[in-house]
Amino acid sequence: MPSSPRHRQRTALPVLLAPVLLAALLAGTALAPAAAWAQAGAQAGAAADARRPAEVAQVLFGIISYVRWPVARPEVRVCMLGTPRYGAAIVDTPASSLGQRIRVKIPAATAAAGECDVVYLGSLPEGEREHLLAQVIGKPILSVAEPGTSCTVGTMFCLRLSEAQIGFDVNLDAIARSGLRVHPNALQIARRKGPPP
């Protein structure tokens, strides 16, 4: 006896749904490892971001350890100017491990030339940055620009970030005009911390 159209519709529906359900199940299984991979990548990125301030501080103090002033400093005064993103880690980094006494301070920008041996430049309006650099260019004051900030002509060291590393660019002309002596090993820090060519 031939089946009624109504009966055929009932049996055909599960047959049509089976491939759809199977495809959904396979898609869910394929997406699970991709989601886990994305989550692991996000966690690794967050861990790198958490380490970044300490790494920036390490590179900054590494640069300072390779600099000699025309007159020896019993204490190197590091002035943070503008709005530094990594300032807390710089303040918290112990200076005793460098064999050099370092004091970190936050002066008024107008006092930088008289109170600082190092100026660490955070985010600053361009006009203020140029005015500040005009005060320190040609003086024995080391200038270092924080990663992600504008690196203008008079800055001696410009820190830069890649995905996993910290490096820096060096302005040899600005260093020569300052009277500071920078040991060639400072360039080895750049090679070690910088991204591969």
- Give 74-97 pLDDT, tens digit per residue: 889 999 998 888 888 888 765 654
pLDDT band at 190 (very low <50, low <70, confident <90, very high): low
Q: Could you tell me what percent of the chain has a pLDDT over 90?
A: 19
DSSP collapsed to 3 states, 169-187? EECHHHHHHHCCEECCHHH
Predicted pLDDT at 36:
45
How open is the CA angle 12-17-20, to the nearest 5 degrees? 145
Q: Pairing between strand 181-182 and 102-105?
A: unpaired
pLDDT band at 8 (very low <50, low <70, confident <90, very high): very low
Measured CA to CA, the distance from residue 54 to residue 58 in angstroms comes to: 6
pLDDT band at 195 (very low <50, low <70, confident <90, very high): very low
Q: Could you tell me what percent of the chain has a pLDDT over 70?
A: 65
- Give 114-151 pLDDT, tens digit per residue: 889 999 999 988 888 888 888 898 999 999 999 877 78
Please provide the average confidence, as pLDDT, over all residues in the chain.
Answer: 74
Encoded amino acid at 161, one letter: L
Beta pairing partners, 3: none
DSSP three-state, residue 167 = strand
- Give 46-66 pLDDT, tens digit per residue: 555 778 888 899 889 889 988
pLDDT band at 166 (very low <50, low <70, confident <90, very high): confident
Predicted pLDDT at 47:
55
Is residue 80 a contact partner of residue 107, using CB atoms and an 8 Å limit? no
